[in-house]
Amino acid sequence: QKEVEQNSGPLSVPEGAIASLNCTYSDRVSQSFFWYRQYSGKSPELIMSIYSNGDKEDGRFTAQLNKASQYVSLLIRDSQPSDSATYLCAVNINTNAGKSTFGDGTTLTVKP
């Protein structure tokens, strides 16, 4: 089993729709969870971090964390063509030698 698994994708949604990206992780002691966005040919950039169970909203983005189910998701409301990118889920255990383990990524295409 992979440490961090994401929807295999690719995911295609029409402009204005809600895009839902999912991620599960295997290590129960994981403490910090991140969503990065990577445009083609560019480097990953952080869009959301979440540490506690529940929802965290930032503009059109909502991260949801359920530690009991070992599940973290990212919802993008009112999807725009500019949201088309690969979304990477990252998880770390919070030690002094912190290490983020990344999922394989889900490629999202938002069609006008």
Which residues lie near another protein (CB under 8 A)? 31-32, 34, 36, 38, 42-46, 49, 51, 86, 88, 90, 92, 94-102, 104-105
Place of tokens 């295997």: 26
| 3-class state of residue 83 by DSSP | helix
Minimum distance from CB of 16 to another protein (Å)? Answer: 27
Nearer to another protein, 22 or 104 (CB): 104
How far from 103 is each of 10, 16, 90, 100, 111, CA to CA, in Å? Answer: 14, 26, 6, 10, 24
DSSP H helices, the chain, are none
Minimum distance from CB of 75 to another protein (Å)? Answer: 20
Q: Which residues pair with 45 in a beta bridge?
A: 37
Nearer to another protein, 48 or 76 (CB): 48
Angle subtended at Cα 99 by Cα 7 and Cα 84, rounded to the nearest 5 degrees: 35
Minimum distance from CB of 42 to another protein (Å)? Answer: 8
Nearer to another protein, 19 or 91 (CB): 91
Nearer to another protein, 80 or 94 (CB): 94
